Chain A
Amino acid sequence: MRLLWFFIALVVLGPWLSEYGLKLASEALILGLYAMAFNLLFRQTGLLSFGQAAFFGLGAYTMALLVARGGWPFPATLPLAFLVSALGALVIGFLSIRLSRIYFTMLTLAFAQLLYAVAHKWYAFTGGDNGITDLRPPGIWGESLFYYYAVLFLFALGVFFLWALERSPFGYALRALRDNRARAEAVGINAFGHLLLAFVISGALSGLAGALQGALQRSVFPDYLFWTRSAEAILATILGGSGVFLGPAIGATVFLLLRVVVQANTEYWPFFLGTLLLLMVLFFPKGLGGLALEMARKWPKGERRGASGS
């Protein structure tokens, strides 16, 4: 129910926003989708991916290349961006989900940087660090209000999908693997297959977010694949609270507002990002969402919020 109110508020909000406000709100939704895709892994499986940018960038480049070189209409590229990122996640996941969570984290970072290096150097195909620019979405897609609603629709679709996934047998199996892998495997859950599928879903949704961001910004550069782009999903998640279902989306909004303020005053944004992450990890590991839930628990409003987490 609360989820529904949240979306109604976002729909009503649209016409009230300025051109700049719409751009920022669209970006917040895109980053929110991206962070929630990251958190599908982090929250449900305990896998900490430092390479989500690989899929964000794969989606963005798929969209950009199809539009700029293939002449495709923008909306038609979205399913392909989704598929290509899923395929990328399948390959990287197949290699990275082998041994332990620590290996997974190291390897996702490494493979994402490999893709970055390729995009950076392969001028003939990706345009190198000149990127692919002038991606003007056709007709109504270029209008900020319409684009905001399009992004909102896809965001909502993604969120409902993740919500349903969490409650599905698949979601239960993932959490069982997270909490006690040996026991989960003993009852017959195929760990590698389940984790790989979760990784592919997470990658595909990240790719969708990347394609949407590319069209919003009307250009795609190698920094879509850069490791600091992965850090954005991580920070948004930690900021909002990884243990709360909508936490990453809330974190994404706070994150973007902070970025607007900080970047107006200093170019040392990664320093700020790192310091914030450090402080969150040391002192508020549950994030803003976790803090809010704790507050709600201290002053209970009746019994209906007995179940926590979403």
Chain B
Amino acid sequence: MDLGFYALQLLTGLAYASTLFLLSVGLSLIFGAMGIVNFAHGSFYMLGAYFLYAFTRGQADGFWGGLLLVLATGFVIGAFVERIFIRRVYARPEEYQILLTYALLLIIEDLVRFFFGTGYRAFPMPQAFAGPLFLFGTPFPSYYLFLIGLAAISALLLGLFLYRTRLGAWIRAATQDREMLEALGVNVPLLYTVVFGMGIALAALGGAALLPMQAATPGMAVDAVINAFIVVVIGGLASVWGALLGAVLIGLVQALGVLFLPEWAMVFPFALMALVLLLRPWGLLGRPPAVRT
């Protein structure tokens, strides 16, 4: 039990937090701009992993190209799903919007089972990350650094995009007042297509990036979306920085849980969420609602 050991746990937690962030930030973004909680979000995360596998035929040398392709495909599929399905229910009560994405969760899980089978799909570690690195004399997978870097860069780019570009300003405006934005001449339906595509692309990237560390299974979709819910409930729904904070907290709690009470590790994220719900139900970085509904 030396310094290296604890550093390793910290890194493991942060690496896990990185994929959690990619998964949850899209959920937050979509809810913020469109007011829709996407219950199929984990399904697209799962699709990202399976797509990387399919695009590269499970070969490590296609990793980088495959990752880019997953990101692009994720965007296209997200935009497509928004156009075909989600768009039809904007005018409906929110229950029906949720039910629609829930139906997608059921459908995509079985589609994956149909096309890829029920077994595990594992991916070899890409060449660049084959060897371990050392921290205080303890070896750790160099891929951890890639995951952390990927999430950090994504967060930075997303922040720049949302706060430094015109399109980003519109997306933020959509979270405040959709009608006003539309009155100002912004094509809000197109904006929604872009936001949904972006959110799905990020989730798919997260799922693909985790694949070399963790094999894909058809059951991962619902676990992923629940993890994303826990993250956004803790951080605050509709808040990008909340998703980041929530992901880091859950990553660390999970890593500590595995360290001290492995059998109960799975319960800790829920316990943390329950605590937040009792003390600050709108999340650590969320805004308290003006009127409770």
Task: Report if B55 contacts A (CB, 8 A).
Answer: no
**CB pair B226 A285 closer than 8 Å:** no
In the complex with contacts A103-B233, A234-B99, A274-B104 CB distance below 8 A: yes
Tell me which of A48, A99, A273, A278 contacts B282 (CB under 8 A): A99
**CB pair B100 A281 closer than 8 Å:** yes
Tell me which of B98, B103, B226, B291 contacts A105 (CB under 8 A): B98
Could you show 28 A-B contacts with beta carbons less than 8 Å apart? A42-B95, A95-B274, A98-B281, A99-B281, A99-B292, A101-B95, A102-B31, A102-B98, A103-B233, A105-B98, A109-B226, A109-B229, A110-B270, A114-B266, A118-B267, A182-B291, A228-B106, A231-B102, A268-B110, A270-B107, A270-B109, A271-B106, A271-B107, A271-B114, A274-B105, A278-B85, A278-B100, A281-B100
Q: How far is the CA of A301 from the CA of B230 in the complex (A)?
A: 52
Task: Report if B88 contacts A (CB, 8 A).
Answer: yes
Which B-chain residue is minimally distant from A114 (CB atoms)? B270
Point out residues on A near B: beta carbons under 8 Å.
42, 46, 48, 50, 95, 98-103, 105-107, 109-111, 113-114, 117-118, 121, 181-182, 191, 227-228, 231, 234, 238, 268-271, 273-275, 277-278, 281-282, 285
**CB pair A278 B103 closer than 8 Å:** yes
Q: How far is the CA of A269 from the CA of B106 in the complex (A)?
A: 9
| Chain A residues in 8 Å Cβ range of B89 | 281-282
**B84 CB, min distance to chain A CBs, angstroms:** 10
Task: Report if B127 contacts A (CB, 8 A).
Answer: no
Task: Report if B277 contacts A (CB, 8 A).
Answer: yes
Q: How far is the CA of A250 from the CA of B198 in the complex (A)?
A: 41
Task: Report if B261 contacts A (CB, 8 A).
Answer: no
**B206 CB, min distance to chain A CBs, angstroms:** 19
Task: Report if B96 contacts A (CB, 8 A).
Answer: yes
Tell me which of B85, B102, B263 contacts A282 (CB under 8 A): B85
Chain B residues 98-142 with CB under 8 Å of chain A are 98-100, 102-107, 109-111, 113-114
| Chain A residues in 8 Å Cβ range of B270 | 110-111, 114
How many A-B residue pairs lie within 8 Å, measured between CB atoms?
112
**B110 CB, min distance to chain A CBs, angstroms:** 3
**B137 CB, min distance to chain A CBs, angstroms:** 34
| Chain A residues in 8 Å Cβ range of B249 | none
| Chain A residues in 8 Å Cβ range of B113 | 268
Chain B residues 186-227 with CB under 8 Å of chain A are 222-223, 225-226
Chain B residues 240-271 with CB under 8 Å of chain A are 263, 266-267, 270
Task: Report if B92 contacts A (CB, 8 A).
Answer: yes
Identify the interface centre among B102, B278, B291: most chain A CB within 10 Å of its CB.
Answer: B102
**CB pair B226 A110 closer than 8 Å:** yes
**CB pair A181 B105 closer than 8 Å:** no
Which B-chain residue is minimally distant from A110 (CB atoms)? B226
**A227 CB, min distance to chain B CBs, angstroms:** 6
**CB pair A117 B292 closer than 8 Å:** no
| Chain A residues in 8 Å Cβ range of B106 | 228, 231, 270-271, 273-274, 277
Which B-chain residue is minimally distant from A122 (CB atoms)? B263
**CB pair B102 A50 closer than 8 Å:** yes
| Chain B residues in 8 Å Cβ range of A228 | 106
Q: How far is the CA of A277 from the CA of B114 in the complex (A)?
A: 19
Tell me which of A95, A102, A181, A281 contacts B94 (CB under 8 A): A102
Tell me which of B107, B223, B229 contacts A106 (CB under 8 A): B229
| Chain A residues in 8 Å Cβ range of B282 | 99
Tell me which of A113, A277, A282 contacts B226 (CB under 8 A): A113
Tell me which of B88, B102, B230 contacts A277 (CB under 8 A): B102
| Chain B residues in 8 Å Cβ range of A238 | 99
**CB pair A110 B92 closer than 8 Å:** no
**CB pair B292 A181 closer than 8 Å:** yes
**CB pair A106 B99 closer than 8 Å:** no
| Chain A residues in 8 Å Cβ range of B114 | 268, 271
**CB pair B266 A117 closer than 8 Å:** yes
**CB pair A285 B96 closer than 8 Å:** yes
**B69 CB, min distance to chain A CBs, angstroms:** 26
Task: Report if B37 contacts A (CB, 8 A).
Answer: yes
Task: Report if B185 contacts A (CB, 8 A).
Answer: no
Which A-chain residue is minimally distant from B36 (CB atoms)? A102
| Chain B residues in 8 Å Cβ range of A50 | 39, 102
**CB pair B102 A106 closer than 8 Å:** no
Q: How far is the CA of A102 from the CA of B292 in the complex (A)?
A: 12
Which A-chain residue is minimally distant from B288 (CB atoms)? A99
Q: How far is the CA of A273 from the CA of B110 in the complex (A)?
A: 10
Q: How far is the CA of A281 from the CA of B95 in the complex (A)?
A: 10
**CB pair A48 B289 closer than 8 Å:** no
**A111 CB, min distance to chain B CBs, angstroms:** 7
**A15 CB, min distance to chain B CBs, angstroms:** 38
Q: How far is the CA of A110 from the CA of B229 in the complex (A)?
A: 8
**A280 CB, min distance to chain B CBs, angstroms:** 8
**CB pair B293 A101 closer than 8 Å:** yes
| Chain B residues in 8 Å Cβ range of A285 | 92, 96
Which B-chain residue is minimally distant from A181 (CB atoms)? B293
| Chain B residues in 8 Å Cβ range of A111 | 270
Q: How far is the CA of A214 from the CA of B99 in the complex (A)?
A: 28
| Chain B residues in 8 Å Cβ range of A113 | 222-223, 226
* New contact pairs (4) apart from A102-B31, A103-B237, A117-B266, CB-CB < 8 Å: A269-B110, A270-B109, A274-B105, A282-B85
**B117 CB, min distance to chain A CBs, angstroms:** 12
**CB pair B293 A106 closer than 8 Å:** no
**CB pair B278 A95 closer than 8 Å:** yes
| Chain B residues in 8 Å Cβ range of A278 | 85, 100, 103-104, 107
